[in-house]
Chains A and B, each alone.
Chain A
Amino acid sequence: MNVKQALIATLKYLFFVLFLFALVALLYVAREWSR
């Protein structure tokens, strides 16, 4: 695995973490708005 592939894989995992954060933020916003 060369450097470029490793970089792309890392970026993909970072994107997944970002996605999880977005989902948690969505749940938080939904809970705050429903009050």
Chain B
Amino acid sequence: MKLPESYFSRILLAYLPFMVCPFDLTRMAAEAAWAVLFLWITVFFFWFTRRLFPERLLRPAFFLWLLAWAQAAWTLAKLPPFWIVSVFFLMPVSFLEAQNKAARVRVFSRLVPRYFWDRFLSGAGFLCFVLAMDLGRVFFCGALGAAVFAQPAGIFLLLTIAAVAWKNQPFKAL
């Protein structure tokens, strides 16, 4: 499977695990915050240690790291076990690719803040997206009483119906 390159489609993919958990707003925000925090921890960890791994074991190490932390957070914090999927989808596509050899970047070079700033923004964007979707859910389901918004996926159902109707609109007279 080829992962989408664009940031917004990856955010949508990363939102998939949240769609099946109709938690309340606080729990949802805490889960998203933990996923984003773990994304930053992972990026930070592998930025500094990827040169210490044997090259062909870097990808297995990355996946073992994700699996072990998914299991640990599952047992410790009672998160749903697939929270790690959002972290995986939020990772940049080129992360750990073989042709991206780790350059000899000094620790205090100017590249480091820029790289981390990008990752920081992608995490913060995902957090805002989850919060916006869930605030919308609370508003439409609680205040307006539309039962289709009781599930987080409800808004996507409506968006899909709207998109299909838009694409298949009847012939317009010129």
Which residues of B (48-84) have their CB < 8 Å from a CB of A?
A: 49, 52-54, 57, 61, 64-65, 68-69, 71-73, 75-76
**Residue total for B at the interface (Cβ-Cβ under 8 A):** 15
Give B73's nearest chain A residue, CB to CB.
Answer: A30
- Would you call A30 and B54 a contact (CB within 8 A)? no
**CB-CB under 8 A for A23 and B68, given A31-B75, A33-B76:** yes
- Would you call B57 and A23 a contact (CB within 8 A)? no
DSSP majority for the A interface? helix
Cβ 8 A contact of B52, one of A15, A27, A31: A15
Residues of B close to A9: CB separation below 8 A: 54
Give B71's nearest chain A residue, CB to CB.
Answer: A27
- Would you call B53 and A30 a contact (CB within 8 A)? no
**Residue total for A at the interface (Cβ-Cβ under 8 A):** 16
User: A34 on the interface (CB 8 Å rule)?
Assistant: yes
Q: Which of B64, B65, B72 has most chain A Cβ within 10 Å?
A: B72
Which residues of A (10-35) have their CB < 8 Å from a CB of B?
A: 12-13, 15-16, 19-20, 23-24, 26-27, 29-31, 33-34
Cβ 8 A contact of A12, one of B53, B71, B73: B53
Cβ 8 A contact of A30, one of B52, B61, B76: B76
Which residues of B (155-169) have their CB < 8 Å from a CB of A?
A: none
Rounded to whole Å, the gap between the CB of A20 and the closest CB of chain B is 7
Docked pose: A23 CA to B61 CA in angstroms: 10
**CB-CB under 8 A for A30 and B71, given A12-B53, A16-B54:** yes
Rounded to whole Å, the gap between the CB of A5 and the closest CB of chain B is 12
Docked pose: A6 CA to B72 CA in angstroms: 35
Rounded to whole Å, the gap between the CB of A15 and the closest CB of chain B is 5
- Would you call B65 and A30 a contact (CB within 8 A)? no
**CB-CB under 8 A for A30 and B57, given A15-B52, A23-B65:** no
